[in-house]
Chains A and B, each alone.
Chain A
Amino acid sequence: MSTILTYIAISDGKLKRSSLEVLSHCKSLADASGASCEAVVIDANASSFVDGIQKYGASKVHVVEDPIFKNHMNTPLLKALANVMNSVNPSVFAFASTEGTKDILGALAANQNAAVIADVASFELIDGGVKAKRPVMAAKIMNNTEAKSDKVLVSVRSGSYDLNESPESAEVVNIDFSMDDSEMKSTLREIISASGDTIDLNEAEAIVAAGRGVKDEDGKALISELASVLKAGIGASRALTESGVYDPSLQIGQTGKVVSPQLYIAVGISGAIQHVAGMANSKVIVAINKDPDAPIFEVADYGIVGDLYKVLPPFIEEIKKIKS
C-alpha cells in the first residue's frame, strides 16, 4: 500500500493551520485511492502535537523529537526529513508552503532524487504521480503541472483547502535522530522577531493591510485599532515595509507572504499586481481607498471610496457595536 505523508509544521509552539489544511486534503486523497494517510512532526516537543494531528485523519504519526528543532535551521531539518523519507518511503510527501518549507524543499528533492512541485493551489493523484495547478506569471494565470515519479514532493499554498476533522487514533512511530555539532553547516546567531505579539499572517482568519495611504502614526493607530477589534493580523504593502513603517515580515504580495484569510481589509492600498498576487484568494475582500480608479477595487467585494482617516473611525465604531 502506498503512503501519502504530510509534514506538520510547528511555529511558536503551535500546529500550523496551513499544515492541517494539507493533511485534511491528503486524508481525502488517501481515502479515495486506498493509500495510507500518515503525518510527520519534527520539533523539540514533537510528541506533544500527536493529539492535534490525529484529529485530522493521520493513521500513523512519525515523531522526530530533539532540542535542536527549537528554531528553524535547514541542516538538521533536512537530515531529519531525509531519515523520515528513507524509513516511510512515501509516494507523495506534502507540505504547507511556509518559509521553512521553501528553505528545504529543493534540497530534499535533490537529496532523495524525488520529483517536486512547489507552491501549488491544488493537487491530485494521477497514474504514476501527481497533477497540480500552480499560479504563475505574477499569479495572473494558472499552469497545470504533472510530476511522474514514485516519489513526489508537493508544497501547497495556505488557504487552498478547508480544515476537515476526521479523528483517528494514530499509531505513533518515533524516528531516531542525532546530530553532531560537526555536522552543523551554519550557525543561527539570533532571531529578530517582529515587534509585539503579532498574529502569523498565514494563519490569521482576518487581516488588516496598510498601504501607502497610511501616512503617519495616526494612520497606524487606526490600523492597529481595527485589527484589534477584529482580532486580525496586520499586514502591509511593499511600499510600507520598504520605507520601514512596518516590519518586513508583514509584507503581503508575490515577494512577501501569500495569504488567504476569511476577511481581508486593504486600507490605502492601490492594488499593484504583485500585491494582489498575495491576497486574491482571500474569501471576502474589503478595500478602502480615496482613488475610485484604484485597481484594488477590481478584486474587492466591498469597496469604500473615501479617505481612510475619515472612513476608519466610524467603521471601527460600527464593528465594535456589532461585536458587542
Chain B
Amino acid sequence: MKFYICIKMVPDVYAPLQIKEGELIMDADRMVLNAYDASAVEEALVLKEKHGGEVEVVCIGPAKASETIRKALAMGADKATHILATGDEDYDSASYAKILSAFFKDKEYDVIGLGKQSQDTDSGLTGSMVAEHLSLPYTTNAVGLEVENGNLVVKRQGDSGQEMIELPTPCAVTCSNDMNDPRIPNLKGIMASKRKPIDQVEISSLGIDEAELQAHTKVTSYEEKPARQAGKKYEGEAEEVAREVAQLLDTEANVL
C-alpha cells in the first residue's frame, strides 16, 4: 500500500511559555514532530513492514521544518515532500486542508494518514477537511489500523465504545497517539535519513487561487487561564483524614 502521512512541526508544549500583552512568547527552537502525526507515521511503517508498500511524508512548513521531516525519515519513512511556507502566513486549518488537497489531487495512493489534531492547538479539523475536499471515505480518532483484502480496517474510539470501520481505498484516516509508541530513530535510521529524497514544492505551484487560502479564523490574542487555586492538603492518620474530607464534601463543598 502507498501511504501518505501528513506531518506538522509544532512547538513543544512542555517548553516554558509566557504571555506579554496578549502575545505568546515561546522558545522558537523547541519545535517537535507533532506526537499524533508520529503515531500515524509509526502505524504506516508497521503496516508497510507487514504488507509491503511505501510510506511518504508530506509537511507544510518553513525551511526549519526539514528537521521534523528528517525525524520521520529516520523513523523509516521512504521519502518526503516539503511544501514550503514562510511560517508568517495567516493560515488556519481550512487553508492547510486546501493546500494538502491540491497537492494530493493528482497523486496515487491508498491511504492518507494524519494525526487527529496538533498538540499545540488541538483543533482536529484538517483531516476531515482534506477527506471532504478529495471526496474520500475517512474516519477519525483511530486507535488501531489493519489491512484486510485491500481495505483499511480502522478501530475508532467513539463516544461510547470502539467502532470497527472498514474503508475501501483510497481513504483518509486520522490517528490517535493511543495506538502505538512511535519508534525512536536509531543511528542507522538517522544516517539513512540523510540520503532519502525530500522533494520541495512551492505552494504557488499547486494551482490554488490565493484568495482560496484566506483564513476564515484568526487568533487575536492569548491570555492566562484563570488559575485554579490549590486547596487544602490533609495529612495524617488515613482513617481520620478520609472521614474529615468526606464530611467536608458534604457540608462545605456541598457535592454529595
Interface residues, chain A, with chain B CB atoms under 8 Å away: 11-12, 71-72, 74-75, 78, 98-100, 102-111, 114-119, 131, 133-149, 185-194, 200, 202, 206, 230, 238, 241-242, 248-249, 251, 254-256, 262-263, 273, 280, 283-286, 292, 297-307, 310-315, 318-319, 322-323
Contacts and interface: CB of A to CB of B under 8 A. Distances in A.
Contacts of B249: 263, 284, 286, 302, 319
Nearest to A198: B160
A322 B241 contact: no
Contacts of A111: 132
B122 A107 contact: no
Lowest 6 CB-CB distances: which A-B pairs, in order?
Answer: A115-B216, A185-B137, A106-B125, A301-B231, A318-B246, A106-B128
Contacts of B13: 137-138, 140, 273
Contact of A103 (B17, B128, B219): B128
Contact of A144 (B139, B221, B256): B221
A116 B217 contact: yes
B209 interface: no
B113 interface: no
15 contacts: A11-B159, A110-B132, A136-B120, A137-B13, A142-B224, A144-B223, A145-B218, A185-B167, A186-B165, A189-B164, A263-B255, A286-B245, A302-B234, A305-B234, A323-B256
A143 B161 CA distance: 32
Given A105-B125, A135-B122, A280-B228, 9 more contacts: A119-B123, A141-B225, A143-B219, A144-B221, A185-B138, A285-B228, A302-B232, A306-B235, A307-B238
A71 B158 CA distance: 10
Interface in B211-254: 216-225, 228, 230-235, 238-239, 241-243, 245-250, 253
Contact of B158 (A100, A108, A306): A100
A55 to B, nearest CB: 23
Contacts of A136: 120-122, 222
B166 A311 contact: no
Secondary structure of the B contact surface, majority rule: mixed
B159 to A, nearest CB: 5
Nearest to A137: B13
Interface of B: 11, 13-14, 17, 19, 24, 36, 93-94, 97, 116, 119-129, 131-133, 136-141, 143, 153, 155, 157-168, 171, 176-178, 216-225, 228, 230-235, 238-239, 241-243, 245-250, 253, 255-256
Contacts of A149: 216
Given A72-B163, A118-B124, A144-B219, A303 B255 contact: no
Contact of B178 (A193, A248, A323): A248
Contacts of B222: 136, 141-144
Given A141-B224, A145-B217, A189 B165 contact: yes
Nearest to A151: B216
Contact of B164 (A143, A190, A318): A190
A142 B160 contact: no
Given A186-B166, A307-B238, A72 B255 contact: no
Nearest to B98: A110
A299 B97 contact: no
Contacts of A312: 242
Interface centre among B153, B162, B168, B238 (most CB of A within 10 A): B238
B233 A303 contact: yes
Given A191-B161, A306-B235, A116 B216 contact: yes
Contacts of A12: 160
B125 A118 contact: yes
A280 B133 CA distance: 36
A148 B124 CA distance: 20
A302 B162 CA distance: 34
A99 B124 contact: no
A111 B125 CA distance: 13
Contact of A319 (B161, B171, B235, B246): B246
Nearest to B151: A187
Given A189-B166, A254-B122, A304-B241, A147 B256 contact: no
A214 B39 CA distance: 27
B130 to A, nearest CB: 8
Contacts of B239: 310, 314
Nearest to A264: B255
Nearest to B239: A314
A194 B217 contact: no
A103 B255 contact: no
Contacts of B168: 185-186
Contact of B243 (A144, A303, A318): A318
Contact of A140 (B17, B121, B153, B159): B17
A254 B239 CA distance: 33
Given A146-B220, A254-B122, A302-B231, A311 B128 contact: no
Contacts of A318: 242-243, 246-247
A322 B177 contact: no
A134 B159 CA distance: 22
B161 A315 contact: no
A248 B165 contact: no
A142 B178 CA distance: 25
